[in-house]
Amino acid sequence: MKDDRKPQITFDDFSKVDIRVGEIIKAQEFEKAKKPAYKLWVDFGSEIGIKKSSAQITDLYTSEELIDKQVLAVINFPPRQIADFMSEVLVLGIYGQDGVILIQPQRQVKKGDKLG
């Protein structure tokens, strides 16, 4: 059965999205955000460096347990100003019943590795 709820994209469209593995090195509560969120600093390795992200993942994660977690993030969206914080990447997650669940590699991989 065809799903007509979302516009279709081509493989070329999808290939433009640069999704990489990063490791969260710092997380703190984002008090000025409209919805509960964390400020994240994510290390994507020497080629890309450390990028910042605002993530609404407070339902299922504490800031302490986020440290050293590997996550997937879109790194080629334009930066977005959220309150007084510039979010440079979009950390990916799944909207579960109890909150957003981060998407992570099943095994430890090199920072900056690309989803393919």
- Domain ranges within the chain, ordered by starting residue: 14-102
Nearest to 108 by CA among 72, 70, 51: 70
Pick the CATH number of 14-102 from 3.30.70.330, 2.40.50.140, 3.40.50.2300, 1.20.1250.20: 2.40.50.140
Confidence of residue 116 (pLDDT cuts 50, 70, 90): confident
DSSP-derived 3-state class of residue 16: coil
Please write the tens of the pLDDT for every residue from 8-30.
999 999 999 999 999 999 999 99
| Residues paired with 89 in a beta bridge | none
For the chain, the residue count is 116
CB distance 42 to 89 below 8 Å: yes
Pairing of strands 70-74, 99-102: unpaired
Please write the tens of the pLDDT for every residue from 46-88.
999 999 999 999 999 999 999 999 999 999 999 999 999 999 9
* Rounded Cα–Cα distance for residues 45 and 26 (Å): 15
pLDDT at 3 over 70: no
Confidence of residue 44 (pLDDT cuts 50, 70, 90): very high
Its pTM stands at 0.91
